[in-house]
Chains A and B, each alone.
Chain A
Amino acid sequence: AQSVTQPDIHITVSEGASLELRCNYSYGATPYLFWYVQSPGQGLQLLLKYFSGDTLVQGIKGFEAEFKRSQSSFNLRKPSVHWSDAAEYFCAVGAQQAGTALIFGKGTTLSVSS
């Protein structure tokens, strides 16, 4: 079955510290991978996506993610977290095939401490 797992429900990071949010997927086809962020009361905003090519992708707001096929992972990283990064982060997987839905993980809530 196709699924996305975000093992960490809640993470607290000090401002200025580095961040890594984990994402593992189970998908039969070649996956398209996405990271979205949701601030309270807002819709989702795309941070970055991976379709093919270089497995290290750069996104907005200083985020990057690395696709590791052997580990079925697509972890999100940021070298230095800002207080404004506090939000909920969702990993999602899809494919460019008719009838393929985007499957989301349950999300990781990031809190930033001063």
Chain B
Amino acid sequence: KAGVTQTPRYLIKTRGQQVTLSCSPISGHRSVSWYQQTPGQGLQFLFEYFSETQRNKGNFPGRFSGRQFSNSRSEMNVSTLELGDSALYLCASSLGLAGGNEQFFGPGTRLTVL
């Protein structure tokens, strides 16, 4: 069974631009969660989608948004990029809701904002 895939793996953008990251979950998984990982803040929860509906959202500004498609694939968008958005963005999928199920993580997208 294929694992969670994320594209692109690396991305370099400049301040003010916007970016879209993509995540394909494991086949059959209906939940997709997104996390931001930085050396200072660790792993911070962004949001979770389940069956195309946002089920939970972390404490991030509205510049961070996401969506999930009918095939469970998910995209995350960050608008008006800031230097502080430089991070590893991890996507995770699970059969059920994230809090009570094993999550399988993708390799991440490394975003650098210049």
Contacts and interface: CB of A to CB of B under 8 A. Distances in A.
Interface of A: 32, 34, 36, 41-46, 49, 51, 90, 94-107
Contacts of A36: 105
B106 interface: yes
Interface residues of B, number: 25
Nearest to A48: B102
B3 to A, nearest CB: 9
A89 to B, nearest CB: 12
Interface in B49-85: 55-56, 58
Contacts of B104: 46
Contacts of B105: 36, 43-45
A104 B42 contact: yes
Contacts of A32: 99-100
Interface of B: 4, 33, 35, 42-43, 45, 48, 55-56, 58, 90, 92, 96-108
A39 B105 CA distance: 12
A46 to B, nearest CB: 5
B45 A103 contact: yes
Contact of B33 (A34, A49, A102): A102
Interface of A is mostly: loop
Contact of A105 (B42, B90, B97, B107): B42
A101 B42 contact: no
A43 B107 contact: yes
Contact of B103 (A96, A102, A107): A102
B90 A100 contact: no
Nearest to B40: A106
A34 B100 CA distance: 10
Contact of B42 (A46, A94, A106): A106
